[in-house]
Amino acid sequence: MAVSPSSTTGSVVQLSRVSKSFGDVKAVDDVSLEIQRGEFFSLLGPSGCGKTTTLRLLAGFEEPDDDGGEVRLLGEVVNKKRPYERKIAMVFQSYALFPHLSVQRNVAFGLEQRKTPKAEIGDRVRRALEMVRLEPDTFARRMPGQLSGGQRQRVALARALVLEPDILLLDEPLGAIDLKLRKEMQLELKSLNKQLGTTFVYVTHDQEEALTMSDRIAVMDNARVAQLGTPAEIYENPRTAFVAKFIGESNFFGGTAERRNGGGWEVARSGGGRFLVPDHPAIREGRAVRIAVRPEWMDVWRPDAVPPGENAVGGTIRDVIYLGETMHLIVTVPGCDDVTVAVRNEGQLIKPLPWKRGDAAAVAWRPEDCQILEEV
C-alpha cells in the first residue's frame, strides 16, 4: 500500500483546550496536544481517565462541549463533522466484524460504501490481508466464527488499513487476545506504522504495551493529561506521583530541603536521616520535597557496606520474591512504606541471593537517580 503524498512531517491532530462533559461529569477536561504525521501516539491511563472519550472525539462519535475547544484533523476543524467525513479509520476493542459476511466482504465493506470501482477492490483487499499476515487464499472465504481471536483482530485491522486512512485510531485492539500473540501484534503494529507512514493513535491501559510501541505517550488522569513525552521521558523523569506509580513501580520518599550541597540539595527525610537530590527548579530551602526511585536503580547492602556517596535508608528484609529474570527484595523501612528493590537473578540454584527474611539491610541509590516530583 502506497504512502499518501501528504505523509510527510507535520502536525495532523490538534486538540486545543478540548472538554467533554456527560451531565455533571467532565470526561475530558481542557486537553491540548498535537500529534505529528506518521507518529505512533498512545493515550495511556486507568479506566475512567478520559482516554477513550478523547479517541471518540477524534473519531467523531462524540462532540466537544459547546465551549469545549477545537478538534483539528489535517488542519481542519472537525468538531461538527460526522465520522465518515473525517480521513480516519478505527479499530475497535470488540473488532465489530459482521458475522454474516466473509473475511473478504468484511475487509471490502468500507471500499464498497465509498463506491470504489469493483476492479480495484479485490487487489486492495488482498494487499490489506497480506499486510496483516493473513494469507488471502486461506482466509478470504472464511467467516468470522471460523477465526481465532487473533485472526479476527487482524481482519479488523485489515478492514481499517484497506481504506488507506491518514489517521488510524485504535481502541485497545489487543485486549482480548492471549499474551504471546499480543506481544507479537505489538511489534507488527509498530512495524506497520513505520512502513505505511500512517499516524496511529492508540488507546491502552497497559503500561508495558505503551512503552513498547509508542513514539510519544500522553498519560491521562482524571480527564486531563498528566504528562506527555517519549517513553524514556515518562519512565525516567515522571512529573507527578501518579505517573511514577502508573508507569512501572516506584519507591517514594519525602522530606524538607535544608541546604545546598554541591550541585544538589540535602534533604532531611521525614522518617529520620538525610539524602541528597539533584538540583531542580521546584526545590526551595525549607520546602517539602518528594522523590521517586525506581526499584531497578537501587541496591541492598549490609548496613556497614554502603558505597560512599550513595543515599541509604536502613531497614529489615521482609520478603524475597522470585520473578524469573529478576528478584524483588521487599525491605521494611521505618518512617515510610516498604521499599522494593529489583535485582538481577543470576541463578538461585547456583548463586542464590545472600538475603533472607529478618536480615538487617540498607537500601542505597545514587543521588542522580532521584526523580523529583512536582506535586507534594
The model's pLDDT over 15-43, given as tens digits with 9 standing for 90+, comes to: 999 999 999 999 999 999 999 999 999 99
Report the pLDDT value the prediction gives residue 8, as an integer from 0 to 100: 45
For residue 160, the one-letter residue type is A
For residue 289, the one-letter residue type is V
Class of the CATH-defined domain 11-238: alpha beta
Distance CA 57, CA 20 (A): 8
Distance CA 181, CA 133 (A): 13
Query: What's the CA angle centered on 122, arms 58 and 88, to 5 degrees?
Result: 5
Mean pLDDT by 10 residues, the chain (376 residues): 46 96 95 96 95 96 94 94 90 86 94 90 93 91 90 90 93 81 86 92 94 96 96 95 94 94 91 91 92 97 95 96 94 94 90 92 96 81
Distance CA 184, CA 315 (A): 42
CB atoms < 10 A from the CB of 277, how many?
23
Report the pLDDT value the prediction gives residue 177, as an integer from 0 to 100: 75
Report the pLDDT value the prediction gives residue 92, as an integer from 0 to 100: 85
Report the pLDDT value the prediction gives residue 133, as an integer from 0 to 100: 86
In Å, the largest CA–CA distance within the chain is 79
Give domain limits for the chain: 11-238, 249-372
Task: Report the candidate in 25, 20, 50 with the shortest Cα–Cα distance to residue 205.
Answer: 50
CATH fold label, 249-372: OB fold (Dihydrolipoamide Acetyltransferase, E2P) (2.40.50)
- What letter would DSSP give residue 77? E
pTM: 0.88
Report the pLDDT value the prediction gives residue 9, as an integer from 0 to 100: 55
Phi-psi domain of 186 (left: phi exceeds 0; alpha: psi -120 through 50; beta: other): alpha
C-alpha cell at 71: 478538534
Do residues 48 and 96 make contact, with C-beta atoms less than 8 angstroms apart?
no
Backbone angles phi, psi at 81, to 5 degrees: -85, 145
CB atoms < 10 A from the CB of 195, how many?
11
Question: What stretches of the chain adopt beta strand conformation (E)?
Answer: 11-22, 25-36, 40-44, 70-73, 76-77, 88-91, 167-171, 199-204, 216-221, 224-229, 251-261, 264-269, 274-278, 288-293, 299-301, 311-322, 326-332, 339-344, 360-365, 371-372
Distance CA 325, CA 345 (A): 5
Report the pLDDT value the prediction gives residue 5, as an integer from 0 to 100: 38
Do residues 277 and 254 make contact, with C-beta atoms less than 8 angstroms apart?
no
C-alpha cell at 326: 529478576
**DSSP-based helix, strand, coil % in the chain, nearest 5:** 25, 35, 40
Distance CA 45, CA 48 (A): 8
The model's pLDDT over 316-361, given as tens digits with 9 standing for 90+, comes to: 999 999 999 999 999 999 988 999 999 998 888 888 889 999 999 9
Please give the C-alpha separations between residue 222 and each of 29, 34, 44, 68, 371, in angstroms, as whole numbers.
8, 20, 12, 17, 22
